[in-house]
Amino acid sequence: MANPLNIIAQVPADEEAERSVIGSILMDKNALSKISDNLNSDDFYNRMNQEVYAVMLKLEDKGCPIDVITVSNELKKKKIDSVSHLTDCVSGVATATHIKEHAKIVKEKRVLRELLATSNDIMEQANSGEIDSDDLVDMVEQRIFSISKQTGKKKYKSLSELTEGVITKFKMIASGEIEPGLMIGLDTLNEILSGLHKSDLIIVGARPSQGKSALALTIANNVAHKDTPVAMFSLEMSEEQLVERLYSMNSGVGLQQIRNGAFKNKEELDKATKSIDAVTPKMDSLPIIIDDTPSISVLEIKRACRRIKAEHKDLGLVIVDYLQLVRPRKDDGKTNDQVAEIARGLKNLAKELDVPVVALSQLSRNIEQRENSTPRLSDLRDSGAIEQDADVVIFISHGSDMGDGNPPVDLIVAKHRNGPLGVARVKWNRETVSFS
């Protein structure tokens, strides 16, 4: 396709910087280790430089020396004559001191080339008329997000490349150096799930007013207290209501008292005020990002998460309250298809951002008409696709009041793709509308 704006006169590349990187590695045996984690052979524009750098990485992995002879011999196996090119690269470098700066230039040119390719794709897609505007915007943001987190390493890996990382992680978990997943502050549930895991979609299902939002906010609060950023999309409650609940959880002051200011006497008011003032500094520092946009779409959630991820590089958890209120792409009245699309979109979000996504879901009325009211997977409202796409499904089931106004609650793990099922018994704190 012709470029109607005639903006780019040539492909972004810096031959001098590329030759300097190659020459520096041939000159200094320690030079490659300074850049190999961030520079890939595909980052070079010149085809010969791509081949040379790939061989250098291969020799480094084998622990072999890297010089004109070893590199040229490897390339001869591919029927590539590289001696004169390698000699020119070495002769053009006075010192290997600036290899990091030159490697950065090579990487930046690669990013510019990818941006240029993306812009061309955008023009072609926009002019084709074969993609709607929402999908086009999502494609653009996804491509830009992918470019922005470019590490220079290939996305695919062989089994031999993966085993070391898995074994290392296993040993660190076994020794207690790291936790197996994102611990959520509810020990019995943590034991069953081993915490929440990256790229998992976790569905929390219950009938209305059974504590779905309270459980989600309890998890968000506990996770944030470990300095892990949480993005919470609240389609039902306002940001002010969520903050009131967080204050109640953290201060111990009853939620209704915070809302209506009804205290028995001044002493009780002063005590509550002191408790709230005491937790305010910590509340101000909790990394919880709240978006209470009503009827938000999955695409809008994705866009917001990408921006949050860019600002908080260690974004640890995304919560959506709740799934049936998320706006579908097309309001064609086919509820099952719409919910399936939303569930799949949230699962894709979890994989793309490599974070656990907790989505709340209503259960159907059928549960109220059965003699046994224990929730089942078939009770997930509107679509079997929720069960299909979810990695974990948790149901909330309330028990009878034990007399203190805080009855036990069973969190039933009804689906666990990578682990056991089970029931975690927790305590419902009625006044602070939270679980413990």
Active site residues: 236
> SS3 for 409?
strand
251 CA to centre of own chain: 30
Cα separation, 309 vs 328, whole angstroms = 23
Instruction: Report how far residue 308's alpha carbon sits from residue 290's, in angstroms, rounded to the nearest whole number.
Output: 11
Q: Which of 348, 339, 322 is nearest to 201 (CA)?
A: 348
Smallest CA-to-CA distance from 185 within 212, 217, 222, 228 is with: 222
Instruction: Please spell the DSSP secondary structure of 182-245, one letter per residue.
Output: B--S-HHHHHHHTSB-TT-EEEEEE-TTSSHHHHHHHHHHHHHTTT--EEEEESSS-HHHHHHH
Half-sphere exposure of 216 (CA within 13 A, CB side): 32
Find out whether 389 and 406 touch, Cβ atoms under 8 Å. no
- At position 271, the amino acid (one-letter code) is K
- Rounded distance between C-alpha atoms, residue 433 and residue 277, angstroms: 20
3-state secondary structure of 360: strand
Distance from the Cα of residue 256 to its chain's centroid: 35
With CA atoms as reference, report the closest residue to 82 among 44, 50, 45, 111: 50
Helices 212-224/239-251 angle, 10° precision: 70
Alpha helix ranges (H) inside 129-200: 133-148, 159-174, 187-193
Q: Are 367 and 379 in contact (CB under 8 A)?
A: yes
**C-alpha–C-alpha distance, residues 395 and 175, integer Å:** 32
* Token code pair at residue 334: 């086919």
